[in-house]
């Protein structure tokens, strides 16, 4: 639960995207947040306060003159212990109000009345023409200049039947943005390149050799780096995982393709950090067949020959423009000894050891970090928590510039 103890004031304004905010409310609750819903009158035309009360577990406020707050000042009371105010969907009209400091209903008044340390996040949702209108764009520029965090919108099909910019982000994307807003921004301006997942080495057009890597750890690290403010590129072998929000994903199959994609990224833009999480096949089939290999008799078996794949991590670490390189090691025994030796052999400043060899596909894990100073453990946790802690460790080392 990544929002434990957080109180979020969730403001709904008028827009058909209100139906998606029902799901966001549940998702925020599942991450441990307590959600206080406030709705404009227009929002109540799209979804009822009853629904939002049932989903948030808290009474819903819609009226500036609501007498249920003891001092009759809900705009003050509702914001004093809030950790964030999220307006989703945020209508064109509400953007106007925010840009001009209007306070003629409860939601706009509480936005103005919020203490300076309470962040305000908005998820605009409107028709493409309304979004592109110069007046909206003027208000958007003012809102951004005032330090309000604007999430989206996205482009695509709209409820009105038109297509273009103005779709509200999906609930899982908004949740990701909200969680990210609470993370330390330790990698702002940094470029982080990550490999993840297994590779697939063909034997023939329909068969191949792969491994059990799920890609979860690499994807969690990509997300954690993005949450820390980095520009993230993820070179991924075949996995069942959706592309992490905010991250550029390049899909590959073989180790050679992964190598080529990584080198192309390094040549296009200098990278500050390279994290090699992928379970890259050490060998590929030398004599892979262009056609499906036929079973010719009951006793015949194909004879496969192997050649070594490029060691992507070692090759990146050997470049003159090498980023800060982080490797992974999944050993089934003697991790402490093998981990320290592997870090030196690959000539990298940081190597991360997985405890045990049953971590593929699991949601939690335990890590040991090996660097020039020795080793230290990051205790067992879910992979996203571990990934955030690892990114903290990388950011500290990067700031200290200990060997790149
Ligand atoms: O040598 P070994 O495969 O045990 O090292 C694992 C580390 O090296 C991981 O970080 C993995 O992503 C990386 N690696 C690589 N290219 C290879 C083999 C491993 O980048 N061909």
**Higher per-residue confidence, 3 vs 337:** 3
Residue 358 and residue 328 in one domain: yes
* Cα–ligand 1 centroid distance for 328 (angstroms): 7
Q: Which of 312, 317, 346 to mutate to test the pocket of ligand 1 (most atoms within 8 A of CB)?
A: 312
End-of-domain residue from the set 126, 159, 181: 181
Residue 374 and residue 249 in one domain: yes
Q: Quote the pLDDT of residue 71.
A: 76
Structural domain includes residue 312:
yes
Whether 28 has a pLDDT exceeding 60, the answer reads yes
Residue 98 and residue 19 in one domain: yes
Q: Which of 235, 276, 328, 342 to mutate to test the pocket of ligand 1 (most atoms within 8 A of CB)?
A: 276
- Quick: pLDDT tens for 284-297: 999 999 999 998 88
Residue 44 and residue 70 in one domain: yes
Structural domain includes residue 219:
yes
Residue 25 sits in a domain of what CATH number?
Answer: 3.40.50.1950
- DSSP state letter for 198: B
Q: Which atom of ligand 1 is nearest to the CA of 329?
A: 6
Structural domain includes residue 133:
yes
* Cα–ligand 1 centroid distance for 118 (angstroms): 44
Residue 296 sits in a domain of what CATH number?
Answer: 3.40.50.10300
- Quick: pLDDT tens for 146-184: 999 999 999 999 888 989 999 999 999 999 999 999 999
Distance, CA of 377 to CA of 225 (rounded, Å):
20
Q: Quote the pLDDT of residue 404.
A: 47
Residue 173 and residue 195 in one domain: no
Residues framing ligand 1 (Cβ under 6 A): 195, 255, 276-278, 280, 282, 309-313, 327-329
Structural domain includes residue 186:
no
Q: Which atom of ligand 1 is nearest to the CA of 275?
A: 10
Residue 320 and residue 371 in one domain: yes
- Quick: pLDDT tens for 62-77: 999 888 877 778 878 8
Residue identified by tokens 């592309």 is 243
Residue 254 and residue 395 in one domain: yes
Average pLDDT of the chain is: 94
End-of-domain residue from the set 153, 181, 209: 181
Residue 292 and residue 197 in one domain: yes
End-of-domain residue from the set 131, 153, 181: 181
Distance, CA of 149 to CA of 172 (rounded, Å):
17
Range of the domain at 281: 191-399
> The whole model's pTM is what?
0.93
Q: Which of 196, 265, 311 to mutate to test the pocket of ligand 1 (most atoms within 8 A of CB)?
A: 311
- DSSP state letter for 202: E
Residue 148 and residue 253 in one domain: no
Q: Which residues are bridge partners to 326 per DSSP?
A: 275, 350
- Quick: pLDDT tens for 208-230: 999 999 999 999 999 999 999 99
Q: Quote the pLDDT of residue 356.
A: 56
Whether 370 has a pLDDT exceeding 50, the answer reads yes
**Other C-beta atoms lying within 10 Å of the C-beta of residue 65:** 7
Catalytic residue check, 90 = no
Residue 255 and residue 210 in one domain: yes
- Quick: pLDDT tens for 82-111: 999 999 999 999 999 999 999 999 999 999
Catalytic residue among 18, 103, 111, 160: 160
């Amino acid at each position: 639960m990544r929002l434990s103890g957080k109180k979020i004031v969730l403001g709904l304004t008028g827009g058909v995207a209100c139906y998606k905010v029902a799901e966001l409310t549940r998702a925020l609750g599942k991450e441990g947040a307590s959600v206080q819903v406030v709705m404009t009158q227009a929002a109540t035309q799209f979804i009822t306060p009853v629904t939002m009360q049932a989903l948030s577990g808290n009474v819903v406020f819609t009226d500036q003159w609501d007498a249920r707050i003891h001092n009759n000042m809900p705009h003050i009371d509702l914001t004093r212990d809030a950790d964030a105010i999220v307006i989703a969907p945020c209508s064109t009209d509400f953007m106007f109000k925010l840009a001009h400091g209007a306070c003629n209903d409860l939601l706009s008044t509480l936005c103005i009345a919020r203490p300076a340390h309470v962040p305000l996040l908005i998820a605009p949702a409107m028709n493409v023409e309304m979004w592109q209108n110069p007046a909206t764009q003027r208000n958007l520029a003012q809102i951004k200049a005032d330090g309000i965090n604007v999430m989206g919108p996205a482009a695509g099909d709209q409820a009105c039947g038109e297509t273009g910019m103005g779709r509200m982000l999906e609930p899982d994307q908004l949740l990701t943005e909200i969680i990210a807003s609470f993370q330390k921004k330790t990698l702002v301006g940094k470029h982080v390149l990550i490999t993840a997942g297994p590779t697939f080495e063909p034997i023939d057009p329909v068969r191949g050799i792969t491994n059990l890597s799920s890609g979860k750890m690499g994807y969690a690290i990509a997300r954690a780096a993005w949450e820390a403010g980095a520009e993230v590129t993820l070179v991924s072998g075949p996995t069942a995982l959706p592309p992490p929000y905010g991250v550029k994903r390049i899909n590959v199959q073989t180790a050679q393709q992964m190598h080529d994609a990584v080198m192309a990224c390094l040549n296009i833009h200098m990278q500050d950090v390279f994290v090699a999480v992928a379970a890259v096949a050490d060998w590929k089939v030398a004599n892979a067949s262009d056609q499906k290999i036929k079973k010719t008799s009951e006793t015949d078996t194909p004879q496969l020959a192997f050649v070594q794949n490029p060691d992507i991590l070692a090759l990146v670490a050997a470049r003159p423009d090498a980023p800060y390189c982080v490797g992974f090691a999944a050993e089934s025994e003697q991790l402490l000894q093998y981990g320290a030796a592997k870090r030196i052999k690959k000539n990298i400043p940081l190597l991360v050891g997985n405890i045990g060899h049953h971590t593929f596909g699991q949601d939690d894990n335990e890590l040991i970090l090996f660097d020039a100073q020795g080793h230290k453990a990051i205790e067992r946790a879910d992979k996203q928590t571990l990934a955030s802690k690892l990114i903290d460790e990388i950011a500290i080392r990067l700031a200290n510039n200990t060997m790149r």
